[in-house]
């Protein structure tokens, strides 16, 4: 059965490779899983499971996986982009904003487009980019100076360029946009600068803005009452990880970042909607349909910047349209994605700031667990139990896979903070609870009891841990699963590896020589399956030895 499926997929892949390259229509994006040789959106499909139906690489033969080519970027910034692959052509971004088109089989360059960001750009945490979207013959890239640029996918020439927001005020785009119908949806980073975050949709042909949704409720918006005084004006609420889309309800789902100032909520009494929330918007109008706030009145920098993973599963006996979410705040959640109803929340790592939930899914806070001038020990620490790194859901194993920071804590410090436009608006900080090594040396001296990185496999029906794959250092790597029950990931140690998705057993590894800080993806060219991932300053493509 499985080999027949494989043969079918490969035969189709060969046919596609031989065919004339066609435009990427919205219909193709809707059915991206029907052309598994391509990778058409940031997370693979609108469900964002980061799951590839390709099966040529198996647990039995993965030991024969070898690098086929390496693209060395001319950038020392973190390489966080997930490439797109369309009919044998790969598109990726060399940080901060150089678009590259490569032959996906050989790694040879077709063209490069260098966007020069303004010197006013001030992204908080690296001059990075996480990838692009494609529709028709156009690629769409957000830039660190707050622009959205459309680029001709055939020759790398810019077609239109719009500025969404002012980079000098801290607005920056690092997220891969999402296409829905004829629109490009994108949001802005800058949650450490007291921005007022938003999502916006643009006509893909013209760049004309179609709608804008502010992630910070202002005057006239429901939720305005969750911000004391004028604090909404500098409320943060950044968008820096790509959302998902459900065509059945025409809803697009996005995770919203932290409130500002990050670590001092004194001047923003209230829940601070819609920070640290998932928002469900009508994709045509940007109208809010529902929201769920994971971390009300956050003071721990717990951005809800995780990829919303959509899955149709049985829930307590009946089929249900679900959203699976492992949050930076340490809890794993199951939500009803039609209504936003909270169904389950359970810690997937050590958590001490909240204990359980009320009937509406609001976390029960633990008294005293707030930032203080002296510092308060909080689990998970500032980077979270997980962060922006893509998780994966395999419909075959039924497991949800989380890149996790285990036993990780920070001392949260609160300080007074005045707002100055364009300057960091933190109100404190988070100190490491374990000794820090040399700043510019990447060696790892960590002991296990000081926290470790892991892939944690969770049963979404129960939230129970099924298995764990431990690393000695933390991880910023996403997870890919495949229909042959393989799991690919990496970590700060500089390995890229394959696990058995059912057991967590290590099956293969390769030294990529730098931290994996991106999500892996899979594609095929001429019947040959590849797995690609960025690590260090390079992009690697692997395939089976021929």
**By the criterion CB under 8 A, which residues form the site for another protein?**
76-77, 119-120, 122, 126-127, 168, 415, 420-424, 429, 434-441, 443-449, 454, 465-473, 493-495, 499-500, 503-507, 509
Name the minimum Å distance from CB 535 to another protein.
Answer: 14
Secondary structure class of 16 (helix, strand, coil)? helix
Pick from 347, 348, 343: which is nearest to 359 by CA? 343
Name the minimum Å distance from CB 499 to another protein.
Answer: 7
Would you say 299 and 414 are in contact if contact means Cβ atoms under 8 Å apart? yes
Would you say 108 and 58 are in contact if contact means Cβ atoms under 8 Å apart? no
Helix (H), strand (E) at residue 110: strand 109-114
What does the radius of gyration of the chain's CA atoms come to, in whole angstroms? Answer: 22
Name the minimum Å distance from CB 63 to another protein.
Answer: 13
Both tokens of 24, joined, read 């990427």
CA distance 404 to 191: 23
Name the minimum Å distance from CB 424 to another protein.
Answer: 5
105 DSSP assignment: T
- CA–chain centroid gap for 434, Å, is 27
Q: Which is nearer to another protein, 207 or 375 (CB)?
A: 375
Q: Which is nearer to another protein, 138 or 165 (CB)?
A: 165
What residue ranges in 297-427 does DSSP mark as E strands?
309-315, 318-326, 331-336, 342-347, 354-357, 363-365, 376-378, 392-393, 400-406, 410-414
Catalytic residue among 262, 271, 301, 303: 301
- Mark whether 301 is an active-site residue: yes
CA distance 225 to 212: 21
Residue linked to tokens 């971390």: 295
Name the minimum Å distance from CB 166 to another protein.
Answer: 12
Over 326-362, what HEC string results?
Answer: ECCCCEEEEEECCCCCEEEEEECCCCCCEEEECCCCC
What residue ranges in 441-494 does DSSP mark as E strands?
452-459, 464-470, 480-482, 486-490
Name the minimum Å distance from CB 132 to another protein.
Answer: 23
Catalytic site positions: 301
């Amino acid at each position: 059965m499985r080999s027949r499926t494989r043969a079918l997929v490969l035969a189709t892949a060969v046919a596609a490779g031989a065919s004339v390259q066609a435009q990427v229509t919205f219909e193709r994006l809707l059915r991206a899983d029907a052309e598994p040789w391509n990778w058409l959106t940031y997370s693979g499909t609108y469900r964002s499971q980061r799951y590839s139906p390709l099966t040529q690489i198996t647990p039995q033969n993965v030991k024969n996986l070898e690098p086929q080519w390496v693209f060395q970027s001319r950038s020392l910034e973190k390489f966080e982009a997930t490439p797109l692959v369309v009919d044998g052509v790969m598109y990726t971004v060399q940080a901060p904003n150089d678009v590259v088109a490569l032959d996906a089989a050989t790694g040879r360059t077709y063209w490069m487009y260098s966007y020069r960001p303004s010197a006013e750009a001030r992204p908080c945490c690296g001059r990075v980019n996480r990838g692009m979207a494609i529709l028709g013959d156009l690629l769409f890239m957000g830039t660190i100076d707050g622009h959205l640029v459309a680029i001709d996918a055939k020759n790398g020439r810019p077609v239109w360029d719009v500025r969404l927001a002012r980079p000098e005020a801290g607005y920056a785009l690092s997220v891969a946009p999402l296409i829905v119908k004829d629109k490009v949806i994108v949001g802005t980073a800058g949650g450490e600068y007291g921005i007022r975050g938003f999502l916006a949709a643009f006509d893909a042909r013209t760049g004309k803005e179609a709608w804008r949704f502010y992630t910070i409720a202002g005057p006239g918006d429901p939720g305005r009452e969750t911000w004391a005084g004028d604090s909404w004006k500098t409320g943060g609420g950044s968008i820096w990880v790509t959302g998902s889309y459900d065509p059945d309800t025409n809803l697009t789902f996005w995770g919203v970042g932290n409130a500002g100032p990050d670590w001092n909520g004194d001047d923003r009494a209230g829940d601070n909607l819609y920070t640290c929330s998932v928002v469900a918007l009508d994709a045509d109008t940007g109208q809010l349909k529902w929201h769920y706030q994971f971390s009300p009145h956050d003071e721990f920098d717990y951005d809800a910047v995780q990829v919303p993973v959509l899955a149709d599963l049985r829930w307590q006996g009946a089929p249900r349209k679900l959203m699976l979410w492992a949050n930076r705040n340490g809890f794993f959640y199951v939500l009803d994605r039609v209504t936003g109803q909270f169904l389950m929340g359970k810690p997937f790592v050590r958590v001490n700031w909240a204990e359980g939930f009320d009937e509406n899914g609001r976390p029960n806070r633990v008294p005293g667990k707030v930032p203080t001038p002296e510092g308060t020990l909080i689990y998970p620490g500032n980077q979270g139990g997980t962060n922006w790194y893509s998780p994966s859901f395999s419909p075959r194993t039924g497991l949800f896979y989380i890149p996790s920071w285990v036993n990780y804590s920070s001392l949260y410090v609160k300080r007074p903070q005045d707002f100055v436009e364009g300057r960091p608006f933190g109100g404190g900080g988070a100190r490491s609870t374990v000794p820090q090594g040399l700043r510019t040396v990447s060696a790892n001296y960590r002991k296990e009891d000081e926290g470790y990185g892991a892939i944690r496999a969770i049963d979404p029906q129960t939230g129970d841990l099924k298995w764990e794959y431990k690393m000695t250092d933390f991880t910023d790597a996403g997870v890919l699963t495949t229909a042959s029950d393989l799991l690919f990931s990496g970590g700060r140690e500089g390995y890229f590896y394959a696990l058995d998705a059912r057991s967590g057993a290590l099956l293969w590894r390769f030294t990529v020589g730098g931290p994996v800080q991106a999500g892996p993806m899979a594609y095929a060219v001429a019947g040959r399956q590849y797995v690609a991932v960025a690590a260090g300053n390079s992009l690697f493509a692997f395939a089976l030895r021929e």
